[in-house]
Amino acid sequence: MTPGLSPRQALAEVEGRLSAAGCPDADFDARELYEMAAGEDPRLSGNPLTAAQAERLEALCARREAREPLQYLRGRWPFLGFELAVGPGVLCPRPDTEVVAQAAAELIAGLEAPRVLDLCAGTGCLGIGIKFFCPSAQVTCLEKSPEAFAYLARNVREALPGQEAAEPVQGDLFDYWRTLAPGSLDLILSNPPYLTTAEMTALQPETAREPALALEAGEDGLDFYRAIAADYQQALRPGGALALEIGWTQAAAVTELLRQAGWREIQCIRDYGGNDRCITARRPREIE
């Protein structure tokens, strides 16, 4: 990157390189990288690049050309009305997951101090999202990966000013249910791994940089849904709610798993793109 380039010239060069590398949304990414390198919005500046800014922009552009996720380059990413620390070792928060947080919050609307468990929490976006919508909620976030847990612990302390959003717990979804008292929760939510073995071999380059532990869920992509459906219902009070993010082709399969396990009031909610994205359900209100 050449010092002295105008913002428009620098943007054009970065966008061209990112487009050639196959990066989606190259124009958006170019603006983000410029602002990170120069400390100002290129659309509002006429200042030429200094040598230091050009060096920083070159380094960032090279990393993005190599398809490192923009979220990792920034180190923080917005979700709902807050920002989350993010980087290698944790799943990047995505806009579609906001739909899950919103749907889950609606399931506990009107409850006083609801008790909430976020499984496979990653950055904590869902659990912290519940606290964002429902400040009185008592939220626990469970995460297995030590790398992701470091981001989770930081985010529950820092994402919502003036409060600790949740209790972070390091543990495994496949065992953690054994520690829960029957009827002790009002809501369980999760964005679990849900990619199939075949899908893991055809990832976009950015997604391939994210941890496989947060993505892969067995031959049919349903391993985590089976465990949640079978093992976590008893931890909810009668009428307690469940909200799960799903892959866009999985609504029928996840609905059937929940139905067979005795869950009731099962519904599917679509994301901003019109794809099936969230399954909600409840423990029967009367014990059957």
Q: What is the pTM of this model?
A: 0.94
pLDDT at 288 over 60: no
Single out the residue in 46, 66, 86 at which a domain terminates: 66
Average pLDDT, the chain: 96
Q: Is residue 287 part of a domain?
A: no
Residues 218 and 259 occupy one common structural domain: yes
Residues 144 and 162 occupy one common structural domain: yes
Give the model confidence (pLDDT) of 170-218 as tens digits.
Answer: 999 999 999 999 999 999 999 999 999 999 999 999 999 999 999 999 9
Distances (CA, A) of 125 to 32, 61, 73, 121: 22, 27, 19, 7
SS3 182: coil
pLDDT of residue 44: 85
pLDDT of residue 162: 87
Residues 123 and 61 occupy one common structural domain: no
pLDDT at 280 over 80: yes
* Total structural domains within the chain: 2
Residues 170 and 220 occupy one common structural domain: yes
CA gap 238, 42 in Å, rounded: 55
Q: Is residue 2 part of a domain?
A: no
pLDDT of residue 178: 98
Cβ proximity of 67 and 21 under 8 Å: yes
Single out the residue in 32, 66, 100 at which a domain terminates: 66
Q: Is residue 288 part of a domain?
A: no
**Burial class of residue 133 (count of CB atoms within 10 Å of its CB; 0-12, 13-18, 19+):** middle
Span 163-173, average pLDDT: 96
* CATH code of residue 224: 3.40.50.150
Q: Is residue 184 part of a domain?
A: yes
Residues 78 and 198 occupy one common structural domain: yes
Give the model confidence (pLDDT) of 114-148 as tens digits.
Answer: 999 999 999 999 999 999 999 999 999 999 999 99
Single out the residue in 66, 84, 101 at which a domain terminates: 66
Q: Is residue 1 part of a domain?
A: no
Residues 135 and 194 occupy one common structural domain: yes
Domain hosting 24: range is: 7-66
Residues 87 and 58 occupy one common structural domain: no
Residues 33 and 149 occupy one common structural domain: no
Which amino acid makes up residue 17?
A: R
Residues 87 and 51 occupy one common structural domain: no
pLDDT at 39 over 70: yes
Give the model confidence (pLDDT) of 233-244 as tens digits.
Answer: 999 999 999 999
pLDDT at 287 over 70: no
Residues 17 and 98 occupy one common structural domain: no
Residues 92 and 235 occupy one common structural domain: yes
Residues 112 and 130 occupy one common structural domain: yes
CA gap 47, 147 in Å, rounded: 39
pLDDT of residue 46: 84
Percent of the chain with pLDDT over 70: 99
**Burial class of residue 181 (count of CB atoms within 10 Å of its CB; 0-12, 13-18, 19+):** exposed
Cβ proximity of 166 and 131 under 8 Å: yes
Q: Please report how the helices 223-231 and 251-260 are oriented relative to each other, as an axis angle in degrees rounded to 10.
A: 30
Give the model confidence (pLDDT) of 44-88 as tens digits.
Answer: 888 899 999 999 999 999 999 999 999 999 999 999 999 999 999
β strands within 163-275, DSSP E? 167-170, 185-190, 236-245, 264-270
Q: Pairing state of beta strands 276-282 and 138-143?
A: unpaired
